[in-house]
Structure 1
Amino acid sequence: MVDCEKEEARNLQREFEWVLKQEIHIGLEQIHKILVECAKKFPVQLYGNDNSLKKDKFVLSVTPENLKCIVTLTGDSITHADINFKVTRQTTTTIVRTSIQNDFPWKLQQVQDAANHLQQAIYHIDDVGKNYKFKSSDEVLHILGEILGSLQRGRTSLIVPRKKAIDDLMKSRNMKSLSPNLAEDLAISFYIQSHKLIFAIYQLTNQHGTMQYESSHAECSVPWLNEVLVFFTVSLQLCQQLKDKIYVFSQYKDFTVGSRSVSPYPT
């Protein structure tokens, strides 16, 4: 029985060493390739690409003509937009027209945030190097945790836009991009949610002395966002699979590279 336990321990040790020396590097290389492809899809300068001048044109509208916005998306900014929407105050309906021009673009911070997190994930893998020799499961778990954290933050930047109070929207730097400026009871917002670009209008109203706001929005699908999210998701899954495999070995005592004194029992 003791001999069987020793043999099991030796087999586990050999598998552990193979995983550290081979499988982790193979997995990291695969994830790296996916992330580099993901970087190529971003319309900003990122990890050697130069898509910062890439332009996409979109139409966001709600029928009947309550809201229509034609935008040009260049990199992580809206560099041009023609905006028209209807506003009702009491019994009067008016059409509001404003625009965004090249000299004062509307910044989509979510795109730059996601790109920064993606680049950080790639750098974490670059820092390891193809010939690096891991010494313990804890070391691998730490590195994989760093990569996972960067990927999760990057993906979340695109899927979950940060909520802002209506006052913050009205005072935001981006509102100064509009020409002409909007009335004091109006605000607009552009943001990313998953694979969509969303244009929202907010109108402040006074209801029995309490300030409230009404909103409406239009949206359109952005093809490169859908591709980027797929790359993020696949990379996260592969990284989590590697982490789960290493975590199994981390439950055993004395597992270190080169050691033959291994307990096959979890701590």
Structure 2
Amino acid sequence: MHGVDRQSVFEASSMSAASQAERAVLEEEFNWLLKEEVHAVLKQLQDILKEAARRFSVATPGFEGQLKQENFILGSSTMDQVKGVLTMQGEALTQADINIKVAKSNQPLHFAFRDDKQWKLQQVQDARNHVTQALQLLSSRDESYHFKTGAEVNKLMDAVMLQLIRARNRLTTPATMTLPELASSGLMKMFNPALPGDLMLNLYINLSKLCLTVYQLHVLQPNTTKNFKPAGGSVLHNPGAMFELGSSKFEVSHVHTVECVVPWLNDTLVFFTISLQLCQQLKDKVGVVDPSHWA
């Protein structure tokens, strides 16, 4: 009996020695992670996000400080009701040339931006600001900084990820607008000649595409308003959507959307995905070797 006790004591002490050795190895790995690997990942993230930030402000070669102008042709091979060329410079549309064939006329209508007007793409501006904030968070912990806990690393990763998710969401989720909001937006006042009262336009980013939507309207007669049901906010309104503006009630009769891929926006979305994966991988590694998680 006494020998069995001795045996079990020996086994228990061996197990405890093994778990202590394992613990020591994990602790060493964790210290190395905090000292070396975290900074390597932060450097990688900074490099990727600097590339993303550079895409938002592509300079003209040979003209430092002057943003490159890019032309995007919007149209569709299957229908030619709406065609346009939009000139983009950073986060602003500086010129627009739009041809619209309306249902009741064979003659296309032609509109261009007024010379004194530019249209700021708020989505692009906001996304760029979030990238800048993510870079500021990363640069606040330079190579000389010593992380003391896994929680501290996770907190930084969460803050960076939040900015990246917000940046991505601004590009992937255009703002919802009601038709009266669209009718009274600054975009309606950008054109020469002025847009007629039965046409409305919206310009927005959806993922990596620059989109132009044209709404043709007709006025509802006072005696047809018993079924009047105003439409709520939406990115894209369908034919049949109704709204009230001033003393008139309108219905959307036709909707045309044309779009064009903006390659550098596509690049930035890829950079956001890679960066978010890197942040998550670092968090996962910290979770595995962090001593505070051990029983």
Please give the TM-score of this superposition, normalised by the length of structure 1: 0.86
Residue 223 of structure 1 aligns with an amino acid whose one-letter code is: P
Give distance in 1, aligned partners of 2:190 and 2:99: 15
Contact 1:117/1:154, CA 8 A, preserved across alignment: yes
Instruction: Please give the per-residue CA displacement for 1:121-152, whole angstroms capped at 9, x wherever unaligned.
Output: 11110001111001111111110101111111
Q: CA deviation at 1:244?
A: 1.7
Residue 153 of structure 1 aligns with an amino acid whose one-letter code is: R
Q: Which runs of 5+ in 2 are unaligned?
A: 1-14, 229-241, 243-250
Residue 203 of structure 1 aligns with an amino acid whose one-letter code is: Q
Give distance in 1, aligned partners of 2:66 and 2:49: 18
SS of the counterpart of 1:198? strand
SS of the counterpart of 2:109? strand
1:228 alignment partner in structure 2: 268
C-alpha distance 247-184 of structure 1, shift in aligned 2 (>3 A):
farther
SS of the counterpart of 1:204? strand
Give distance in 2, aligned partners of 1:12 and 1:51: 50
Contact 2:29/2:289, CA 8 A, preserved across alignment: no
1:83 alignment partner in structure 2: 98
Give distance in 1, aligned partners of 2:98 and 2:85: 7
1:17 alignment partner in structure 2: 31
C-alpha distance 76-242 of structure 1, shift in aligned 2 (>3 A):
same
For the pair shown, which has the larger CA radius of gyration, 1 or 2? 2
Give distance in 1, aligned partners of 2:287 and 2:158: 11
- How many pairs align? 249
SS of the counterpart of 2:101? strand
SS of the counterpart of 2:143? coil
1:124 alignment partner in structure 2: 137
Contact 2:201/2:214, CA 8 A, preserved across alignment: yes
Give distance in 1, aligned partners of 2:161 and 2:153: 12
C-alpha distance 17-70 of structure 1, shift in aligned 2 (>3 A):
same
1:36 alignment partner in structure 2: 50
Give distance in 2, aligned partners of 1:234 and 1:205: 47
Instruction: Please give the per-residue CA displacement for 1:191-232, whole angstroms capped at 9, x wherever unaligned.
Output: 111121111112234564232424211111112112222112
Instruction: Please give the per-residue CA displacement for 1:50-78, whole angstroms capped at 9, x wherever unaligned.
Output: 66521001111235431111111112111
SS of the counterpart of 1:73? strand
SS of the counterpart of 1:182? coil
Contact 1:191/1:198, CA 8 A, preserved across alignment: yes
Give distance in 2, aligned partners of 1:87 and 1:80: 22
Query: What RMSD in Å do the two structures reach over aligned CA positions?
Result: 2.0
Residue 125 of structure 1 aligns with an amino acid whose one-letter code is: L
Contact 2:81/2:256, CA 8 A, preserved across alignment: no
Q: CA deviation at 1:93?
A: 5.7
C-alpha distance 118-52 of structure 1, shift in aligned 2 (>3 A):
farther
Residue 256 of structure 2 aligns with an amino acid whose one-letter code is: S
